[in-house]
Amino acid sequence: MSSEADIREAVPPEFRERLRSVRVADGTVTLVVDAGGLGRTAHEPLRRELQAAVGTVQGVDTVRVALMAEKPQRQVIVVGSGKGGVGKSTLTANLAVALARAGRRVGLVDADIYGPSQSVLMGEEDSRLEARDKVLIPHETRYGLCFVSMGQLVEKGRAIAWRGPMVGNALGQLMNADWGDAELLLVDLPPGTGDVQLTMMQKFRPAGAVVVSTPQDLALIDATRALDLFSQADIPVAGLVENMAGFVCPECGATSHPFGEGGAQDAARDLGVPFLGRVPLTMAIREASDAGTPPAAGDGPEAAPFAAIAARLDDWLTAGAGT
Annotated binding site for ATP: 82-89
User: Minimum distance from CB of 134 to ligand ATP (Å)?
Assistant: 28
Taking CB under 6 A as the binding criterion, the range among 18-26, 68-76, 109-117, 231-239 that sits at the site for ligand ATP is: 109-117
Question: Could you tell me how many residues make up the chain?
Answer: 323
Among 187, 276, 279, 310, binds ligand ATP (CB under 6 A): 279
217-232 and 195-204 helices cross at what angle (nearest 10)?
30
Whichever of 88 and 312 has its CB closer to ligand ATP, that residue is 88
Give 148's strand partners.
109
Taking CB under 6 A as the binding criterion, the range among 66-74, 219-227, 229-237, 277-285 that sits at the site for ligand ATP is: 277-285
The footprint of ligand ATP on this chain (CB under 6 A) covers a number of residues equal to 20
- Which residues in 231-270 contact ligand ATP (CB under 6 A)? 243-244
Whichever of 84 and 194 has its CB closer to ligand ATP, that residue is 84
86 binds ligand ATP (CB under 6 A): yes
Task: Tell me, residue by residue from 177 to 196, as one string, x for binding to ligand ATP by CB under 6 A and - for no binding.
Answer: --------------x-----
Taking CB under 6 A as the binding criterion, the range among 46-54, 152-160, 249-257, 279-287 that sits at the site for ligand ATP is: 279-287
Q: Does residue 278 contact residue 245 with C-beta atoms inside 8 Å?
A: yes
Q: Does residue 86 contact residue 245 with C-beta atoms inside 8 Å?
A: no
Q: Does residue 182 contact residue 77 with C-beta atoms inside 8 Å?
A: no
Residue 300: closest CA among 283, 277, 275: 283
Whichever of 45 and 250 has its CB closer to ligand ATP, that residue is 250
Whichever of 137 and 310 has its CB closer to ligand ATP, that residue is 310
DSSP state of 240: E
User: Minimum distance from CB of 298 to ligand ATP (Å)?
Assistant: 14
For residue 89, the one-letter residue type is S
User: Minimum distance from CB of 253 to ligand ATP (Å)?
Assistant: 15
Residue 273: closest CA among 311, 307, 308, 226: 226
Residue 303: closest CA among 280, 321, 269, 274: 280
298 binds ligand ATP (CB under 6 A): no
DSSP state of 194: S
User: Minimum distance from CB of 266 to ligand ATP (Å)?
Assistant: 19
User: Minimum distance from CB of 291 to ligand ATP (Å)?
Assistant: 10
- Which residues in 66-85 contact ligand ATP (CB under 6 A)? 81, 84-85
Residue 27: closest CA among 52, 73, 59: 59
d(CA 13, CA 17): 8
Instruction: Let me know if 276 is exposed, middle or buried by CB neighbors in 10 A (0-12, 13-18, 19+).
Output: buried
d(CA 262, CA 138): 37
Residue ranges binding ligand ATP (CB under 6 A)? 81, 84-90, 112, 115, 117, 191, 243-244, 279, 281-282, 285-286, 289
